[in-house]
Structure 1
Amino acid sequence: MSDSLKVDETGISQDSKNLALLNWIGTIFFGFIPGLVLYFIKKEDAYVFDQAKESLNWSITAGLIYLAAVILTFVLIGALLFPILGICHLVFCIMGAVAVNDGKLFRVPFALRLIK
């Protein structure tokens, strides 16, 4: 059996962990695109599919908060939201990358679950 097809004690293959890791790292830089691509092409891999849905849910949530921040910028409150959301986005994506590297399911604490 090749190394990429070996399943560890969590029952998740290394390939699945690697794709989920790339998904979360890609979400840092490219937003919803990596999650959307994996959501459509990796439906047969339950772990990658689950993490793609989670990153999509987080990206949608972050996008809605950015939209609210743009609107609130006209009353000067939104300018405070941009750096806070940027830091939250970075932290949650790093937390997701660390969790999936260990083979754990990761849930962003404040994400709207729009994609089920």
Structure 2
Amino acid sequence: MERIVDDPQEKQWGMFTHLAALATFVLPVAGNFIGPLIIYLIKKDEYEFVNDQGKEVLNFQISWSIIFAISIVLIFVGIGVIMLVGFGIAWLVLVIVGSVAASNGQYYRYPLTYNFFQ
């Protein structure tokens, strides 16, 4: 059975944790990690949902940063640009899907993500 959060404040902070990854458009390279990390560190003890989703977002951002780094290296082989565009679109869609799920109180799990934080 799927767990659902009822508290509106908890859902809102969970959604902000996902949306904070969009800070990468303001602070390239590290914004996608720093934004969610700040919210996670501030609210993890207050809300269990933010604790769970914060770890999920951080795991996703680290995993996909590695994917993007590999794509950049593969530019020299010729397929890196295609990978960057494809993974970039997928990243944006997944961040939006995670944000919507969190705003509905659903515990969201990102695909292609290694669990650095348990």
TM range (shorter): 0.7 to 0.9
SS of structure 1 residue aligned to 2:107: coil
| Contact kept in structure 2, 1:96 and 1:106, CA below 8 Å | yes
| Contact kept in structure 2, 1:38 and 1:49, CA below 8 Å | no
Q: Once the two structures are superposed, what CA deviation does each residue of 1:16-49 show, in whole Å capped at 9, x if it has no partner?
A: 1111111212212331122211222222211011
The one-letter code sitting in structure 2 at the alignment partner of 1:96 is: G
SS of structure 1 residue aligned to 2:108: coil
Give matches, 1:34-113, under 5 Å.
34-44=35-45, 45-113=47-115
In the alignment, what sits opposite 1:4? none
Aligned counterparts of 2:80 and 2:96: Cα–Cα separation in 1: 24
The one-letter code sitting in structure 1 at the alignment partner of 2:6 is: I
TM-score relative to the length of structure 2: 0.83
| Contact kept in structure 1, 2:44 and 2:51, CA below 8 Å | yes
Is the radius of gyration larger for structure 1 or structure 2? 1
Identity of aligned pairs, percent?
A: 31
**Which has the higher mean CA deviation after the structures are superposed, 32-41 or 61-70?**
32-41
CA RMSD of aligned residues (A): 1.3
Relative to structure 1, the CA distance from residue 54 to residue 88 in structure 2 (aligned partners, 3 Å threshold; closer, same or farther) is same
The one-letter code sitting in structure 2 at the alignment partner of 1:43 is: K
Give the count of matched residue pairs.
Answer: 107
The runs of 5 or more residues in structure 1 that have no matched partner are 1-9
Aligned counterparts of 2:67 and 2:10: Cα–Cα separation in 1: 30
State which of 2, 7, 10 in structure 2 corresponds to 1:13.
Answer: 7
| Contact kept in structure 1, 2:17 and 2:40, CA below 8 Å | no
| Contact kept in structure 2, 1:28 and 1:89, CA below 8 Å | no
The runs of 5 or more residues in structure 2 that have no matched partner are 25-31
